[in-house]
Amino acid sequence: MENLNQNIENHYLKEELYEDILNRLKEQGIDLNEVKRSDIAGVDEFHVRGAAVSKELADSLNLDGATVLDVGCGLGGPCRMLADEYNCQVTGLDLSKEYIRTAKELSKLVKLDSKTSFIKGDATSLPFEDNTFDVIWTQHVQMNIPNKEKFYSEISRVLKSGGHFLYYEILKKGDGEVNYPMPWASTSEISFLFKEAEMDNFLTKFGLTKEQSNDQTIYGIDFLDALFVKLKEFGPPKIGLNALMGETTKQKLVNVLGHLKSGELELKSGVYKK
C-alpha cells in the first residue's frame, strides 16, 4: 500500500506547483494582492467540467453553514467555493503533500484560509472521529483506490447520522479495456475503475440511502468537445489543467473523451443520506 500510495503521489507530483501558479498569474498581469477565486478556477478544480459541475453538485442540497470534508481535495478549489459561496467550514484531505501545500497557499492567496483547512492523509484511513461532518464530498478520486470497501466505509464512519454524501465520479460502464494515460493514471497500475452498481452496493452496505443520481456523461462529452475546439483555436490556456497534467495533457483528455463517447466510461454525480 505504501508503494502504491507513493506511485499515486508521484503521478500527481508537480514540484513547485504553487510557485508555478503564481508565475502564471503574474504573466497574466494579475496583482498577487488581489487574486480572486475566478483567476485560479482553471487550475484548482481537477475534474471534467471544473467549477460548473461543483456548483451544480453544491446546489443539489441546502449546504448553508455545513461542516464539509472533501476527500481527495486536490488543490482545494471546490473547498474554497463551498466556504465562499455556501458559508461552509471545509476540511480538504489529500494524499499529495504538494497539493496540500498548494491548497493551503491558494486559500491564503484568495483570503479564504479561515474557512478552509487542508491535511495530508489517506482516504482509506481518515484521521477523524466517527460522526464528525455534516457533508462528505468527493470528486474523481476513487479511481486511484483499490480498496473501495474501506474508502466507502470510512466515508460513512465520519459522516454524521442524517448527513449527506455528495459525489462526482468517473465510472466503468462497459467491460472492455481502457487506454492510458488518463488524467488520474499514466498506466493501469494505479487505476482501479469500477461500476456504479458496485459503488451503490458499498454505500448501501454502510448504511447510506441513495437520494439523487445524475448521468453527467453527455455534459462531460460536450465540455471536452468544446475544449478541443478552443485548444485548436487559441492553444493551451495560461492557467489550466495542463499545469497539473503536463506534456501528456492532450492524450489524457483524448482518452477520457474517447471512452466517454464509446460508452466504456461514464460520469455520474449524486447524493446519499446517512
Ligand X SMILES: C[S@@+](CC[C@H](N)C(=O)[O-])C[C@H]1O[C@@H](n2cnc3c(N)ncnc32)[C@H](O)[C@@H]1O
Q: Which residues bind ligand X (CB under 6 A)?
A: 8, 12, 45-47, 72-74, 77, 94-96, 99, 122-124, 139-141, 144-145, 183-184
Nearer to ligand X, 21 or 33 (CB): 21
Which residue carries 471512452 as its cell?
Answer: 259
Q: Shortest CA distance to 9 belongs to which of 106, 71, 124, 98? A: 98
Shortest reach from residue 268's CB to ligand X, in Å: 14
Q: What is the DSSP string of the chain?
A: -HHHHHHHHHHH--TTHHHHHHHHHHHTT--TTS--HHHHTTTS--STTHHHHHHHHHTTS--TT-EEEEET-TT-HHHHHHHHHH--EEEEEES-HHHHHHHHHHHHHTT-TTTEEEEE--TTS--S-TT-EEEEEEES-GGG-S-HHHHHHHHHHHEEEEEEEEEEEEEE-SSS---S-BTTBSSGGG----BHHHHHHHHHHTT-EEEEEEE-HHHHHHHHHHHHHHHHHH-S-SSSTHHHHGGGHHHHHHHHHHHHHHTSEEEEEEEEE-
Shortest reach from residue 31's CB to ligand X, in Å: 25
Shortest reach from residue 245's CB to ligand X, in Å: 9
Nearer to ligand X, 229 or 246 (CB): 246
Shortest reach from residue 47's CB to ligand X, in Å: 4
Nearer to ligand X, 25 or 126 (CB): 126
Nearer to ligand X, 208 or 269 (CB): 269
Give every CB contact of residue 193 below 8 A, 6+ residues apart in sequence.
143, 170, 171, 172, 178, 265
Nearer to ligand X, 45 or 134 (CB): 45
Shortest reach from residue 204's CB to ligand X, in Å: 22
Residue closest to ligand X (Cβ): 74
Shortest reach from residue 236's CB to ligand X, in Å: 18
> What is the spatial distance between Cα 130 and Cα 155, in angstroms, rounded to a whole number?
10
Shortest reach from residue 178's CB to ligand X, in Å: 15
Nearer to ligand X, 77 or 220 (CB): 77
Nearer to ligand X, 14 or 238 (CB): 14
Nearer to ligand X, 25 or 138 (CB): 138
Shortest reach from residue 33's CB to ligand X, in Å: 25
Interior angle at CA 222, CA 221 and CA 228, nearest 5: 90
